[in-house]
Amino acid sequence: MSETAYNRQPVRIIEIEQPRCSLRFGILPCTATGTPKCYQTYWTCRDRENYTPDGFIRWRFYDGKNGNPFIYEEFVNENKIGTNAFPVLQSASTIPSRINVGGQSTNQSPFGVRAKLTVSLAEFEFDDHVGDFYTGDRTLATAGFFAKFMARNPFYPNMIVRDYQGYMGQALSAMVMREYVLDNIEQTRTNEIRVTARDPLDLASDKKAQFPRASAIQLVNDLDSTQTDIDVICVETELSDAFGNTGSTRFLRLGSEIIRYTGWTGTEPDLTLTGVTRGVLGAVAATHNAGDSAQRVGRYENIRLYNVARDLLENHTTIPARFFNWAQWDEEGAVWLSTLRTSATITEPTSAEVLMAELSRDGLFNVWWDERAQVIPIKAVRPPVTAPEVWSDDQHILQDTFAETAESDDFITRVVLFYNRKNPTITLTDENNYQVQSIRIDAELESDGATGNAIREKKIFSRWINTSSNALLVAAQLMLQYRFIPRYLKMRVDAKDRAANIGTVIDLDTRLKVDFEGNKALARYQIIEVQEDTPGDSMSVEMQSFQFVGKFAVIMESNAPDYADATEDERLFGAWIADGTTGLMPNGDDPYLIQ
Protein backbone atom coordinates (compact mmCIF):
# COMPACT_ATOMS: atom_id res chain seq x y z
CA MET A 1 0.00 0.00 0.00
CA SER A 2 1.34 3.42 -0.90
CA GLU A 3 2.09 6.24 1.56
CA THR A 4 -0.85 8.18 0.10
CA ALA A 5 -3.20 5.27 0.79
CA TYR A 6 -2.46 5.11 4.49
CA ASN A 7 -1.86 8.88 4.93
CA ARG A 8 1.05 8.52 7.36
CA GLN A 9 -1.27 8.50 10.39
CA PRO A 10 0.76 6.68 13.07
CA VAL A 11 -0.72 3.69 14.87
CA ARG A 12 0.60 1.34 17.55
CA ILE A 13 -0.97 -2.06 18.06
CA ILE A 14 -0.24 -4.41 20.95
CA GLU A 15 -0.97 -8.08 20.33
CA ILE A 16 -1.18 -10.88 22.92
CA GLU A 17 -1.06 -14.34 21.37
CA GLN A 18 -2.86 -16.88 23.57
CA PRO A 19 -2.45 -20.58 22.70
CA ARG A 20 -5.78 -22.41 22.54
CA CYS A 21 -6.87 -26.01 22.22
CA SER A 22 -8.07 -27.08 18.78
CA LEU A 23 -10.23 -29.93 20.13
CA ARG A 24 -13.94 -29.32 20.35
CA PHE A 25 -16.45 -31.42 22.20
CA GLY A 26 -18.82 -33.20 19.83
CA ILE A 27 -16.79 -32.36 16.71
CA LEU A 28 -13.17 -33.32 17.37
CA PRO A 29 -11.91 -36.10 19.70
CA CYS A 30 -12.47 -34.22 22.96
CA THR A 31 -14.04 -36.42 25.67
CA ALA A 32 -14.99 -33.61 28.07
CA THR A 33 -18.36 -33.67 29.78
CA GLY A 34 -20.19 -31.41 32.19
CA THR A 35 -20.65 -27.67 32.45
CA PRO A 36 -19.54 -25.05 32.01
CA LYS A 37 -17.85 -26.01 28.77
CA CYS A 38 -14.23 -24.99 28.31
CA TYR A 39 -12.80 -21.79 26.86
CA GLN A 40 -10.09 -23.75 24.99
CA THR A 41 -7.49 -23.04 27.71
CA TYR A 42 -5.71 -25.58 29.92
CA TRP A 43 -7.21 -24.41 33.20
CA THR A 44 -10.80 -24.48 31.87
CA CYS A 45 -10.33 -27.84 30.14
CA ARG A 46 -12.28 -30.87 31.44
CA ASP A 47 -10.20 -33.31 29.40
CA ARG A 48 -6.62 -32.23 30.19
CA GLU A 49 -5.03 -35.48 29.06
CA ASN A 50 -6.11 -34.59 25.52
CA TYR A 51 -5.48 -30.86 25.77
CA THR A 52 -3.86 -29.83 22.45
CA PRO A 53 -2.76 -26.15 22.31
CA ASP A 54 -1.98 -26.06 18.59
CA GLY A 55 -4.36 -23.19 17.87
CA PHE A 56 -4.17 -19.57 18.98
CA ILE A 57 -6.07 -16.33 19.26
CA ARG A 58 -4.26 -13.03 18.86
CA TRP A 59 -5.93 -10.35 20.97
CA ARG A 60 -5.13 -6.86 19.65
CA PHE A 61 -5.36 -3.42 21.25
CA TYR A 62 -4.76 0.18 20.08
CA ASP A 63 -5.37 3.70 21.37
CA GLY A 64 -8.50 4.49 19.35
CA LYS A 65 -6.97 7.50 17.59
CA ASN A 66 -6.91 8.13 13.84
CA GLY A 67 -9.70 5.69 13.02
CA ASN A 68 -10.06 1.93 13.34
CA PRO A 69 -7.40 -0.42 11.88
CA PHE A 70 -9.52 -3.27 10.48
CA ILE A 71 -7.24 -6.29 10.80
CA TYR A 72 -9.40 -9.31 11.65
CA GLU A 73 -7.84 -12.53 10.33
CA GLU A 74 -8.66 -16.23 10.32
CA PHE A 75 -5.42 -18.08 9.64
CA VAL A 76 -6.82 -21.62 9.84
CA ASN A 77 -10.60 -21.41 10.30
CA GLU A 78 -11.67 -20.67 13.86
CA ASN A 79 -8.70 -22.40 15.54
CA LYS A 80 -6.26 -19.61 14.62
CA ILE A 81 -7.69 -16.11 14.83
CA GLY A 82 -6.41 -12.54 14.91
CA THR A 83 -8.98 -10.07 16.26
CA ASN A 84 -9.70 -6.53 15.31
CA ALA A 85 -8.02 -4.07 17.68
CA PHE A 86 -9.91 -3.01 20.81
CA PRO A 87 -9.48 0.77 21.44
CA VAL A 88 -8.18 0.46 25.02
CA LEU A 89 -4.41 1.08 24.74
CA GLN A 90 -3.40 3.89 27.12
CA SER A 91 0.41 3.76 26.90
CA ALA A 92 3.30 1.52 25.93
CA SER A 93 7.01 1.89 26.66
CA THR A 94 10.07 -0.20 25.97
CA ILE A 95 13.51 -0.77 27.43
CA PRO A 96 15.83 -2.09 24.67
CA SER A 97 18.35 -4.93 24.93
CA ARG A 98 21.83 -3.87 26.05
CA ILE A 99 24.93 -6.05 26.00
CA ASN A 100 27.58 -6.02 28.71
CA VAL A 101 30.75 -6.54 26.65
CA GLY A 102 32.78 -9.31 28.24
CA GLY A 103 30.31 -9.33 31.16
CA GLN A 104 32.50 -6.93 33.14
CA SER A 105 30.59 -3.67 33.62
CA THR A 106 29.87 -3.32 37.34
CA ASN A 107 26.76 -1.19 36.79
CA GLN A 108 24.58 -3.86 35.21
CA SER A 109 23.98 -7.59 35.12
CA PRO A 110 26.88 -9.57 33.65
CA PHE A 111 24.35 -10.78 31.09
CA GLY A 112 23.43 -7.23 30.08
CA VAL A 113 19.98 -5.65 30.17
CA ARG A 114 16.95 -7.61 29.03
CA ALA A 115 14.51 -5.88 26.68
CA LYS A 116 11.17 -5.10 28.32
CA LEU A 117 7.76 -3.89 27.17
CA THR A 118 5.30 -2.29 29.59
CA VAL A 119 1.74 -1.67 28.42
CA SER A 120 -1.16 0.08 30.14
CA LEU A 121 -4.66 -0.92 28.97
CA ALA A 122 -8.14 0.06 30.10
CA GLU A 123 -10.34 -2.78 31.31
CA PHE A 124 -13.49 -3.19 29.22
CA GLU A 125 -16.59 -5.34 29.22
CA PHE A 126 -16.44 -8.31 26.85
CA ASP A 127 -19.13 -10.85 25.95
CA ASP A 128 -16.82 -13.53 24.44
CA HIS A 129 -18.22 -13.07 20.96
CA VAL A 130 -14.75 -13.87 19.55
CA GLY A 131 -12.99 -17.14 20.16
CA ASP A 132 -15.64 -19.02 22.14
CA PHE A 133 -16.88 -22.24 20.50
CA TYR A 134 -19.85 -22.52 22.84
CA THR A 135 -21.50 -19.09 22.99
CA GLY A 136 -24.83 -20.65 22.04
CA ASP A 137 -24.72 -22.92 25.09
CA ARG A 138 -24.00 -20.20 27.65
CA THR A 139 -25.59 -17.33 29.47
CA LEU A 140 -23.10 -14.69 28.37
CA ALA A 141 -21.47 -12.64 31.12
CA THR A 142 -20.25 -9.17 30.20
CA ALA A 143 -17.51 -9.05 32.81
CA GLY A 144 -14.17 -7.36 32.22
CA PHE A 145 -12.05 -8.83 29.42
CA PHE A 146 -8.85 -9.07 31.48
CA ALA A 147 -10.67 -10.24 34.61
CA LYS A 148 -11.89 -13.23 32.62
CA PHE A 149 -8.59 -13.64 30.78
CA MET A 150 -6.67 -13.95 34.07
CA ALA A 151 -9.28 -16.31 35.57
CA ARG A 152 -8.97 -18.60 32.55
CA ASN A 153 -5.17 -18.28 32.32
CA PRO A 154 -3.58 -18.15 35.81
CA PHE A 155 -0.22 -18.82 34.11
CA TYR A 156 1.10 -17.61 30.74
CA PRO A 157 3.15 -20.42 29.18
CA ASN A 158 4.10 -19.85 25.54
CA MET A 159 2.20 -16.55 25.36
CA ILE A 160 3.77 -13.97 23.07
CA VAL A 161 3.33 -10.18 23.06
CA ARG A 162 4.00 -8.23 19.86
CA ASP A 163 4.44 -4.48 19.58
CA TYR A 164 3.55 -3.16 16.10
CA GLN A 165 4.32 0.42 15.09
CA GLY A 166 3.31 1.75 11.70
CA TYR A 167 0.62 3.78 9.96
CA MET A 168 -3.13 3.53 9.70
CA GLY A 169 -4.09 1.31 6.80
CA GLN A 170 -0.77 -0.55 6.73
CA ALA A 171 -0.81 -4.32 6.90
CA LEU A 172 0.64 -5.65 10.15
CA SER A 173 3.35 -7.42 8.13
CA ALA A 174 4.54 -4.03 6.83
CA MET A 175 4.84 -2.45 10.29
CA VAL A 176 7.89 -2.47 12.55
CA MET A 177 7.33 -5.37 14.94
CA ARG A 178 9.05 -6.41 18.17
CA GLU A 179 8.28 -9.63 19.95
CA TYR A 180 8.39 -10.45 23.65
CA VAL A 181 7.43 -13.22 26.06
CA LEU A 182 4.44 -12.40 28.29
CA ASP A 183 5.63 -12.03 31.87
CA ASN A 184 2.68 -10.71 33.88
CA ILE A 185 -0.78 -9.15 33.77
CA GLU A 186 -2.01 -7.22 36.79
CA GLN A 187 -4.82 -4.87 37.70
CA THR A 188 -3.18 -1.73 39.05
CA ARG A 189 -6.30 0.36 39.55
CA THR A 190 -10.04 -0.18 39.16
CA ASN A 191 -10.00 0.25 35.40
CA GLU A 192 -6.30 -0.07 34.53
CA ILE A 193 -4.46 -3.22 33.46
CA ARG A 194 -0.67 -3.40 33.23
CA VAL A 195 0.96 -5.95 30.95
CA THR A 196 4.69 -6.62 31.19
CA ALA A 197 6.62 -8.66 28.65
CA ARG A 198 10.32 -9.39 28.30
CA ASP A 199 12.66 -10.68 25.66
CA PRO A 200 12.98 -14.48 25.36
CA LEU A 201 16.31 -14.56 27.21
CA ASP A 202 14.32 -13.76 30.35
CA LEU A 203 13.35 -17.44 30.22
CA ALA A 204 16.95 -18.18 31.26
CA SER A 205 16.59 -16.18 34.48
CA ASP A 206 17.03 -17.58 37.98
CA LYS A 207 13.45 -18.64 38.71
CA LYS A 208 12.66 -19.91 35.22
CA ALA A 209 15.65 -22.07 34.27
CA GLN A 210 18.27 -23.82 36.36
CA PHE A 211 21.02 -26.24 35.46
CA PRO A 212 20.90 -28.90 36.63
CA ARG A 213 17.28 -28.68 37.74
CA ALA A 214 16.45 -29.59 41.33
CA SER A 215 16.20 -33.38 41.71
CA ALA A 216 13.65 -35.48 43.57
CA ILE A 217 15.83 -38.51 44.36
CA GLN A 218 15.93 -40.19 47.77
CA LEU A 219 18.39 -42.74 49.13
CA VAL A 220 16.74 -45.96 50.39
CA ASN A 221 19.47 -47.46 52.60
CA ASP A 222 22.43 -46.32 54.66
CA LEU A 223 25.69 -46.27 52.69
CA ASP A 224 29.27 -46.67 53.84
CA SER A 225 32.07 -45.10 51.80
CA THR A 226 32.66 -48.16 49.60
CA GLN A 227 29.26 -49.63 48.69
CA THR A 228 28.30 -49.56 45.02
CA ASP A 229 24.80 -51.09 45.31
CA ILE A 230 22.73 -47.95 45.64
CA ASP A 231 18.94 -48.05 45.83
CA VAL A 232 16.97 -44.87 45.24
CA ILE A 233 13.35 -43.76 45.03
CA CYS A 234 12.51 -41.52 42.05
CA VAL A 235 10.91 -41.43 38.64
CA GLU A 236 13.15 -42.77 35.89
CA THR A 237 13.60 -39.44 34.13
CA GLU A 238 15.41 -38.10 37.21
CA LEU A 239 18.18 -40.57 36.39
CA SER A 240 17.96 -40.61 32.60
CA ASP A 241 17.74 -36.93 31.62
CA ALA A 242 20.95 -35.47 30.18
CA PHE A 243 22.76 -32.73 32.08
CA GLY A 244 25.83 -32.18 29.93
CA ASN A 245 27.54 -34.09 27.13
CA THR A 246 28.72 -37.28 28.87
CA GLY A 247 26.15 -39.58 27.27
CA SER A 248 25.32 -42.70 29.28
CA THR A 249 27.80 -41.71 31.99
CA ARG A 250 25.91 -39.64 34.55
CA PHE A 251 26.61 -38.15 37.97
CA LEU A 252 24.84 -37.70 41.32
CA ARG A 253 25.76 -35.64 44.34
CA LEU A 254 25.15 -37.06 47.81
CA GLY A 255 26.18 -34.52 50.43
CA SER A 256 29.76 -33.59 49.54
CA GLU A 257 30.34 -36.70 47.42
CA ILE A 258 29.91 -37.11 43.66
CA ILE A 259 28.94 -40.57 42.39
CA ARG A 260 29.24 -41.73 38.79
CA TYR A 261 26.77 -44.27 37.36
CA THR A 262 26.07 -45.67 33.90
CA GLY A 263 22.58 -47.16 34.27
CA TRP A 264 19.83 -48.47 36.55
CA THR A 265 17.52 -51.41 37.03
CA GLY A 266 14.14 -51.90 38.66
CA THR A 267 10.68 -50.43 38.23
CA GLU A 268 10.03 -46.85 39.21
CA PRO A 269 9.99 -45.52 41.79
CA ASP A 270 12.20 -48.33 43.19
CA LEU A 271 15.42 -48.16 41.16
CA THR A 272 18.99 -49.39 41.66
CA LEU A 273 22.00 -47.60 40.15
CA THR A 274 24.43 -49.69 38.08
CA GLY A 275 27.99 -49.06 36.92
CA VAL A 276 28.64 -47.05 40.10
CA THR A 277 31.97 -45.43 40.97
CA ARG A 278 32.25 -43.60 44.30
CA GLY A 279 34.02 -40.31 45.04
CA VAL A 280 34.74 -38.97 41.53
CA LEU A 281 35.52 -35.58 39.92
CA GLY A 282 37.61 -34.43 42.88
CA ALA A 283 35.02 -35.23 45.56
CA VAL A 284 35.69 -37.77 48.32
CA ALA A 285 33.58 -40.85 49.10
CA ALA A 286 31.66 -40.60 52.37
CA THR A 287 28.93 -42.27 54.42
CA HIS A 288 25.26 -41.42 53.91
CA ASN A 289 21.97 -42.13 55.64
CA ALA A 290 18.74 -43.63 54.40
CA GLY A 291 16.37 -40.84 53.38
CA ASP A 292 19.17 -38.49 52.27
CA SER A 293 18.36 -36.51 49.14
CA ALA A 294 20.49 -36.85 46.01
CA GLN A 295 21.00 -34.18 43.35
CA ARG A 296 21.85 -34.75 39.68
CA VAL A 297 25.14 -33.14 38.63
CA GLY A 298 25.77 -31.28 35.37
CA ARG A 299 28.98 -32.31 33.64
CA TYR A 300 30.59 -31.12 30.39
CA GLU A 301 33.77 -32.69 29.02
CA ASN A 302 36.11 -31.30 26.33
CA ILE A 303 33.50 -29.08 24.71
CA ARG A 304 33.69 -25.59 23.24
CA LEU A 305 32.38 -22.98 25.65
CA TYR A 306 29.91 -21.54 23.17
CA ASN A 307 28.46 -25.03 22.69
CA VAL A 308 27.87 -25.24 26.43
CA ALA A 309 25.90 -22.01 26.08
CA ARG A 310 23.94 -23.54 23.21
CA ASP A 311 23.09 -26.64 25.25
CA LEU A 312 21.91 -24.54 28.19
CA LEU A 313 19.64 -22.37 26.06
CA GLU A 314 18.40 -25.13 23.75
CA ASN A 315 17.82 -27.93 26.25
CA HIS A 316 17.50 -26.35 29.69
CA THR A 317 15.31 -23.29 29.12
CA THR A 318 11.85 -22.92 27.57
CA ILE A 319 12.99 -20.40 24.95
CA PRO A 320 11.19 -21.34 21.70
CA ALA A 321 13.46 -22.94 19.10
CA ARG A 322 12.40 -20.44 16.42
CA PHE A 323 14.36 -17.70 18.20
CA PHE A 324 17.70 -19.38 17.41
CA ASN A 325 19.72 -19.58 14.22
CA TRP A 326 22.19 -22.30 15.12
CA ALA A 327 23.87 -22.06 11.72
CA GLN A 328 24.91 -18.49 12.65
CA TRP A 329 26.23 -19.76 16.01
CA ASP A 330 28.22 -22.51 14.30
CA GLU A 331 29.69 -20.14 11.72
CA GLU A 332 30.78 -17.57 14.31
CA GLY A 333 32.04 -20.22 16.72
CA ALA A 334 34.00 -22.22 14.15
CA VAL A 335 35.92 -19.16 12.98
CA TRP A 336 36.53 -17.28 16.24
CA LEU A 337 35.88 -19.57 19.23
CA SER A 338 37.04 -23.05 18.20
CA THR A 339 40.09 -23.20 20.51
CA LEU A 340 38.24 -22.32 23.72
CA ARG A 341 37.27 -25.64 25.31
CA THR A 342 36.24 -26.67 28.79
CA SER A 343 35.53 -29.53 31.15
CA ALA A 344 33.35 -28.39 34.03
CA THR A 345 31.07 -29.68 36.78
CA ILE A 346 27.98 -27.99 38.24
CA THR A 347 26.86 -29.78 41.39
CA GLU A 348 23.80 -27.77 42.43
CA PRO A 349 20.92 -26.01 40.64
CA THR A 350 22.30 -22.76 39.24
CA SER A 351 20.55 -20.08 37.21
CA ALA A 352 21.08 -20.56 33.49
CA GLU A 353 21.48 -16.78 33.29
CA VAL A 354 24.38 -16.87 35.79
CA LEU A 355 26.06 -19.69 33.88
CA MET A 356 25.55 -17.86 30.58
CA ALA A 357 27.18 -14.74 32.00
CA GLU A 358 30.21 -16.77 33.12
CA LEU A 359 30.44 -18.49 29.74
CA SER A 360 30.25 -15.17 27.90
CA ARG A 361 33.12 -13.82 30.01
CA ASP A 362 35.35 -16.92 29.85
CA GLY A 363 34.37 -17.90 26.30
CA LEU A 364 34.86 -14.36 24.93
CA PHE A 365 31.46 -13.92 23.26
CA ASN A 366 28.21 -12.03 23.69
CA VAL A 367 24.63 -13.32 23.35
CA TRP A 368 21.63 -11.00 23.20
CA TRP A 369 18.07 -10.62 21.95
CA ASP A 370 17.95 -8.95 18.52
CA GLU A 371 14.56 -7.24 18.61
CA ARG A 372 14.55 -6.52 14.88
CA ALA A 373 15.48 -9.93 13.55
CA GLN A 374 13.58 -11.74 16.35
CA VAL A 375 16.57 -13.98 16.96
CA ILE A 376 19.23 -14.63 19.63
CA PRO A 377 22.63 -14.32 17.91
CA ILE A 378 26.17 -14.87 19.17
CA LYS A 379 29.20 -12.69 18.47
CA ALA A 380 32.78 -13.27 19.53
CA VAL A 381 34.71 -10.50 21.24
CA ARG A 382 36.84 -9.83 18.18
CA PRO A 383 37.93 -7.29 15.59
CA PRO A 384 35.45 -6.36 12.85
CA VAL A 385 35.68 -8.44 9.68
CA THR A 386 35.01 -5.48 7.40
CA ALA A 387 36.15 -1.89 7.58
CA PRO A 388 33.86 -0.10 10.08
CA GLU A 389 31.46 2.51 8.76
CA VAL A 390 32.43 6.09 9.62
CA TRP A 391 29.79 8.25 11.30
CA SER A 392 30.29 12.01 11.20
CA ASP A 393 28.68 15.11 12.68
CA ASP A 394 27.45 16.25 9.29
CA GLN A 395 26.11 13.02 7.84
CA HIS A 396 24.94 10.89 10.76
CA ILE A 397 24.78 12.34 14.28
CA LEU A 398 21.72 14.51 14.84
CA GLN A 399 22.52 17.94 16.20
CA ASP A 400 22.82 18.36 19.98
CA THR A 401 22.20 14.67 20.73
CA PHE A 402 25.79 13.63 21.50
CA ALA A 403 26.47 12.82 25.18
CA GLU A 404 29.37 10.96 26.80
CA THR A 405 29.79 9.29 30.19
CA ALA A 406 32.74 7.48 31.74
CA GLU A 407 32.47 4.55 34.17
CA SER A 408 35.50 4.96 36.43
CA ASP A 409 34.44 1.94 38.53
CA ASP A 410 35.11 -0.35 35.56
CA PHE A 411 38.75 0.68 35.12
CA ILE A 412 41.22 -2.10 36.09
CA THR A 413 44.99 -2.38 36.39
CA ARG A 414 45.27 -6.09 37.15
CA VAL A 415 43.34 -9.32 36.71
CA VAL A 416 43.56 -12.13 39.26
CA LEU A 417 42.13 -15.31 37.81
CA PHE A 418 41.55 -18.55 39.72
CA TYR A 419 40.99 -21.64 37.58
CA ASN A 420 41.10 -25.46 37.58
CA ARG A 421 38.85 -26.20 40.56
CA LYS A 422 39.93 -29.08 42.77
CA ASN A 423 36.57 -30.07 44.24
CA PRO A 424 33.41 -28.80 42.48
CA THR A 425 31.25 -29.31 45.59
CA ILE A 426 33.11 -26.50 47.40
CA THR A 427 31.89 -22.91 46.95
CA LEU A 428 33.03 -21.17 43.77
CA THR A 429 34.77 -18.31 45.61
CA ASP A 430 37.02 -20.42 47.84
CA GLU A 431 40.53 -19.41 46.71
CA ASN A 432 42.09 -22.53 48.22
CA ASN A 433 39.99 -24.77 45.99
CA TYR A 434 41.83 -23.86 42.77
CA GLN A 435 44.95 -25.43 41.34
CA VAL A 436 46.08 -22.25 39.58
CA GLN A 437 46.07 -18.56 40.44
CA SER A 438 47.08 -16.36 37.50
CA ILE A 439 47.84 -12.64 37.89
CA ARG A 440 48.18 -10.21 35.01
CA ILE A 441 49.37 -6.72 35.99
CA ASP A 442 49.76 -3.58 33.90
CA ALA A 443 52.81 -2.20 35.72
CA GLU A 444 52.75 1.08 33.78
CA LEU A 445 49.17 1.78 34.84
CA GLU A 446 50.04 1.14 38.48
CA SER A 447 52.95 3.58 38.38
CA ASP A 448 52.91 6.96 40.09
CA GLY A 449 53.22 8.94 36.87
CA ALA A 450 50.42 7.11 35.07
CA THR A 451 47.63 6.85 37.67
CA GLY A 452 49.17 7.88 41.00
CA ASN A 453 49.93 4.25 41.97
CA ALA A 454 46.31 3.18 41.55
CA ILE A 455 45.68 -0.55 41.96
CA ARG A 456 42.31 -1.65 40.61
CA GLU A 457 41.91 -5.40 40.80
CA LYS A 458 39.43 -7.61 38.99
CA LYS A 459 39.14 -11.03 40.64
CA ILE A 460 37.61 -13.91 38.67
CA PHE A 461 36.71 -17.37 39.95
CA SER A 462 36.15 -19.60 36.92
CA ARG A 463 34.54 -23.02 36.81
CA TRP A 464 35.05 -23.10 33.02
CA ILE A 465 38.72 -22.23 32.44
CA ASN A 466 41.07 -25.24 32.43
CA THR A 467 44.17 -24.09 30.53
CA SER A 468 46.74 -21.32 30.84
CA SER A 469 46.10 -20.27 27.23
CA ASN A 470 42.38 -19.69 27.92
CA ALA A 471 43.24 -17.84 31.14
CA LEU A 472 45.73 -15.67 29.25
CA LEU A 473 43.17 -14.77 26.59
CA VAL A 474 40.49 -13.80 29.13
CA ALA A 475 42.88 -11.71 31.22
CA ALA A 476 44.38 -10.02 28.15
CA GLN A 477 40.95 -9.17 26.74
CA LEU A 478 39.82 -7.66 30.03
CA MET A 479 42.97 -5.60 30.36
CA LEU A 480 42.65 -4.41 26.76
CA GLN A 481 39.01 -3.41 27.26
CA TYR A 482 39.29 -1.84 30.71
CA ARG A 483 42.88 -0.64 31.16
CA PHE A 484 41.54 2.84 30.46
CA ILE A 485 38.28 4.15 31.87
CA PRO A 486 35.60 2.85 29.47
CA ARG A 487 33.57 5.57 27.81
CA TYR A 488 29.97 5.39 26.72
CA LEU A 489 28.37 7.56 24.08
CA LYS A 490 24.69 8.22 23.50
CA MET A 491 23.41 9.88 20.36
CA ARG A 492 20.56 9.93 17.91
CA VAL A 493 21.05 9.16 14.24
CA ASP A 494 18.83 9.32 11.19
CA ALA A 495 16.74 6.33 10.11
CA LYS A 496 19.03 5.85 7.08
CA ASP A 497 21.56 4.38 9.55
CA ARG A 498 19.15 1.82 10.99
CA ALA A 499 21.16 -1.07 9.50
CA ALA A 500 23.52 -0.58 12.44
CA ASN A 501 22.63 -2.88 15.32
CA ILE A 502 23.96 -4.20 18.62
CA GLY A 503 27.51 -5.45 18.05
CA THR A 504 28.18 -3.15 15.07
CA VAL A 505 31.56 -1.38 15.23
CA ILE A 506 31.60 2.30 14.22
CA ASP A 507 34.46 4.76 13.66
CA LEU A 508 33.35 8.22 14.82
CA ASP A 509 34.55 11.30 12.96
CA THR A 510 33.42 14.11 15.25
CA ARG A 511 34.83 17.41 16.43
CA LEU A 512 34.30 16.19 19.97
CA LYS A 513 36.98 13.48 19.58
CA VAL A 514 40.54 14.79 19.14
CA ASP A 515 44.13 13.67 19.68
CA PHE A 516 46.43 15.25 22.30
CA GLU A 517 47.35 17.98 19.83
CA GLY A 518 43.73 18.96 19.39
CA ASN A 519 43.33 17.52 15.89
CA LYS A 520 40.14 15.62 15.06
CA ALA A 521 40.83 11.88 15.24
CA LEU A 522 38.74 8.81 14.49
CA ALA A 523 37.50 7.04 17.63
CA ARG A 524 36.31 3.43 17.51
CA TYR A 525 33.18 2.33 19.38
CA GLN A 526 30.87 -0.69 19.48
CA ILE A 527 27.08 -0.33 19.63
CA ILE A 528 25.67 -1.92 22.79
CA GLU A 529 22.07 -0.62 22.66
CA VAL A 530 19.67 0.49 19.92
CA GLN A 531 16.22 1.97 20.29
CA GLU A 532 14.06 3.36 17.50
CA ASP A 533 12.52 6.62 18.73
CA THR A 534 10.13 6.91 15.80
CA PRO A 535 10.05 4.10 13.23
CA GLY A 536 11.25 5.40 9.89
CA ASP A 537 12.51 8.66 11.45
CA SER A 538 15.38 8.32 13.94
CA MET A 539 16.92 5.98 16.48
CA SER A 540 18.95 6.33 19.67
CA VAL A 541 22.15 4.35 20.08
CA GLU A 542 24.58 3.80 22.91
CA MET A 543 28.17 2.82 22.24
CA GLN A 544 31.12 1.64 24.29
CA SER A 545 34.75 2.38 23.52
CA PHE A 546 36.13 -0.54 21.49
CA GLN A 547 39.52 -2.10 22.13
CA PHE A 548 40.31 -3.61 18.74
CA VAL A 549 42.03 -0.76 16.89
CA GLY A 550 44.67 -1.53 14.30
CA LYS A 551 45.34 -4.31 11.80
CA PHE A 552 44.81 -7.77 13.29
CA ALA A 553 46.53 -10.78 11.81
CA VAL A 554 44.30 -13.32 10.06
CA ILE A 555 45.61 -16.65 8.70
CA MET A 556 45.67 -16.54 4.89
CA GLU A 557 45.58 -19.03 2.05
CA SER A 558 48.97 -20.47 1.05
CA ASN A 559 48.81 -18.70 -2.32
CA ALA A 560 48.27 -15.22 -0.84
CA PRO A 561 50.25 -12.41 -2.54
CA ASP A 562 53.22 -10.54 -1.12
CA TYR A 563 52.37 -7.41 0.86
CA ALA A 564 53.50 -5.11 -1.95
CA ASP A 565 51.16 -6.84 -4.43
CA ALA A 566 48.13 -7.17 -2.10
CA THR A 567 45.00 -5.06 -2.48
CA GLU A 568 43.85 -2.77 0.34
CA ASP A 569 41.13 -5.26 1.35
CA GLU A 570 43.64 -8.11 1.40
CA ARG A 571 45.98 -6.02 3.53
CA LEU A 572 43.17 -5.17 5.93
CA PHE A 573 42.29 -8.83 6.56
CA GLY A 574 45.51 -10.78 6.16
CA ALA A 575 48.88 -11.18 7.87
CA TRP A 576 52.43 -10.38 6.80
CA ILE A 577 55.57 -10.27 8.93
CA ALA A 578 56.96 -6.79 9.56
CA ASP A 579 60.58 -5.74 9.01
CA GLY A 580 62.71 -6.99 11.90
CA THR A 581 64.62 -3.71 12.18
CA THR A 582 61.98 -1.02 11.75
CA GLY A 583 58.98 -3.00 12.99
CA LEU A 584 57.00 -1.70 10.00
CA MET A 585 55.70 -3.12 6.75
CA PRO A 586 57.84 -2.60 3.58
CA ASN A 587 56.01 0.60 2.63
CA GLY A 588 56.03 2.01 6.17
CA ASP A 589 52.55 0.79 7.21
CA ASP A 590 51.93 -0.23 10.83
CA PRO A 591 52.58 -3.91 11.63
CA TYR A 592 49.89 -6.51 12.27
CA LEU A 593 48.71 -7.33 15.79
CA ILE A 594 48.10 -10.79 17.20
CA GLN A 595 44.53 -11.15 18.51
pLDDT digits (tens, 9 = 90+) for 481-525: 888 888 899 999 988 888 899 999 999 999 888 888 888 899 999
Written as one letter, the residue type at 71 is: I
Average pLDDT, the chain: 88
Per-position DSSP letters for 1-22, written without gaps between them: --HHHHTT-EEEEEEEEEEE--
Written as one letter, the residue type at 59 is: W
Whether the predicted pLDDT of 401 surpasses 70: yes
pLDDT in tens, 337-369: 999 999 999 999 999 999 999 999 999 999 999
The full set of domain ranges for the chain reads 3-88+123-198, 213-296, 389-407+485-545, 412-482, 550-595
Q: Are 282 and 423 in contact (CB under 8 A)?
A: yes
> Residue 252: is it exposed, middle or buried by C-beta count within 10 angstroms (0-12/13-18/19+)?
buried
CB proximity list for 310: less than 8 A, separation 6 or greater: 326, 329
Please tell me the predicted confidence (pLDDT) of residue 106. Answer: 58
Confidence band, pLDDT 50/70/90 cuts, at residue 248: very high
Whether the predicted pLDDT of 535 surpasses 80: no
Q: Distances from the Cα of 443 to the Cαs of 451, 459, 482, 540, in angstroms?
A: 11, 17, 14, 38
Q: Higher model confidence: residue 4 or residue 254? A: 254
Average pLDDT over residues 92-120: 80
> Among the listed ranges 6-10, 288-292, 487-491, 530-534, which one has the minimum average pLDDT value?
6-10
CB proximity list for 183: less than 8 A, separation 6 or greater: 156, 196, 197, 198, 202
Please tell me the predicted confidence (pLDDT) of residue 2. Answer: 43
Q: Residue 46 CA to chain centroid, in angstroms?
A: 37
Average pLDDT over residues 199-221: 91
Q: Please choose, from the candidates 368, 370, 303, the residue with its C-alpha nearest in 3D space to the C-alpha of residue 337.
A: 303
Whether the predicted pLDDT of 1 surpasses 60: no
CA–CA gap between residue 78 and residue 74 (Å, rounded): 6
Please tell me the predicted confidence (pLDDT) of residue 554. Answer: 65
Bridge partners of 20, per DSSP, are 55
Confidence band, pLDDT 50/70/90 cuts, at residue 110: low
CA–CA gap between residue 437 and residue 267 (Å, rounded): 48
Please tell me the predicted confidence (pLDDT) of residue 419. Answer: 97
Q: Are 24 and 133 in contact (CB under 8 A)?
A: yes
Please tell me the predicted confidence (pLDDT) of residue 105. Answer: 65
Whether the predicted pLDDT of 4 surpasses 50: no
Contacts 24+ apart (CB under 8 A), 234-238: 234/268, 234/269, 234/271, 235/268, 235/269, 236/264, 236/268, 236/271, 238/296
Percent of the chain clearing pLDDT 90 (strictly above) = 56
Written as one letter, the residue type at 23 is: L
pLDDT in tens, 542-561: 999 988 766 566 666 778 88
**Stated pTM of the model:** 0.86
Whether the predicted pLDDT of 568 surpasses 80: no
Whether the predicted pLDDT of 3 surpasses 50: no
Q: Are 494 and 541 in contact (CB under 8 A)?
A: no
